[in-house]
Structure 1
Amino acid sequence: MEAVIDRQAADELAGHFAAISKHVPLRPVRSEGEYDAAVASLNALLDAGAADESHPLADLAATLGELIGDYDEVHYPGKDVAPSEMLRFLMDQHGLKQTDLADELGSQGVVSEVLNGKRELNLRQMRALAGRFAVPVAVFVEDVTLRS
């Protein structure tokens, strides 16, 4: 379906956009102040249930998250972290033990090998962990330049 925006539709959209913008800064983030406001708005949306993909505001939260992410990439570049370190960090943040990851990784022995860097995660495991911790699969993909 092709979207057609005539003058009347554009005026209507402008009104809706102005109303949304009073609550959510839905524009590129250009300063620390705008960044703080965008993060606060995103947190409020998530607290209201927008983390659930079926929530009516989920796409709004996702769009705001991407605008925040664009600013983050430029102003707060992340360090490359080995998948085992990321997994250990996420486990600590969520108060999990090795046995808690049996559904995602397998036996406690497998989890131990992953955490000790003796075993790499496969794609199924990466997807399962990404789902459990609500992070992108990419955080579990090893950068070969980290190996030494």
Structure 2
Amino acid sequence: MSALIKQVAEHWEFVAPLLRKPKTEADYDQLVEALDELLDLTGEDEAHPLNSLVDIIGDWIEAYDLEHRPMPVASGVDVLRYMMREHGLTQSDLPGVGAQSVVSEVLSGKRQLNLRQIRWLAERFGVSVETFI
């Protein structure tokens, strides 16, 4: 038996709970808590020896989320409504989309956003153009 495997075998009972993909909500919650602790410990140090464990646990949490908590698909108009609400904006506050009547037609589904409007919105809100497509 190699020295590395011997060390792993000696410490397995202590690290095993962190080295299992989550199968239940309890497993998931345990990994999220562990990840939070690890991130507090590693901070911004990209060379920290525990960063590989952070990556592994993060990947497992992400995979569990994708399988069990899929993100709903939002249209560009849905995103625009949300952004307007979050930023406290009215239809008149979006001159890059057009006059208030144009924004109203976009929000009601009578008109689609064009590429120029999408680019303006992406720049206005500091997001990628894909957000509104």
TM-score where L is the length of structure 1 = 0.49
The number of aligned residues is 102
1:25 aligns with 2:18: yes
Q: Amino acid of the residue matched to residue 72 of structure 2?
A: K
Q: Amino acid of the residue matched to residue 7 of structure 2?
A: E
1:12 corresponds, among 7, 17, 24, to 7
When residues 40 and 32 of structure 1 are mapped into structure 2, their CA distance, relative to the original with a 3 A threshold, is same
Query: Partner residue of 1:69?
Result: 62
Structure possessing the higher radius of gyration over alpha carbons: 2
Q: Which runs of 5+ in 1 are unaligned?
A: 1-5, 93-111, 130-138
1:117 Cα deviation (Å)?
5.0
The percentage of aligned residue pairs carrying the same residue is 30
- SS of 1:77 mapped into structure 2: coil
Give distance in 2, aligned partners of 1:8 and 1:56: 19
Contact residue 45 and residue 61 of structure 1 kept, 8 A: yes
1:55 Cα deviation (Å)?
1.7
When residues 52 and 10 of structure 1 are mapped into structure 2, their CA distance, relative to the original with a 3 A threshold, is same
Query: Partner residue of 1:119?
Result: 119
* 1:110-143 superposed Cα distances (whole Å, 9 cap, x missing partner): xx88xx953189xxx9xxx8xxxxxxxxx94728
Q: Over the residues paired in the alignment, what is the CA RMSD in angstroms?
A: 4.1
Give distance in 2, aligned partners of 1:16 and 1:120: 55
TM-score where L is the length of structure 2 = 0.54
Q: Amino acid of the residue matched to residue 118 of structure 1?
A: I
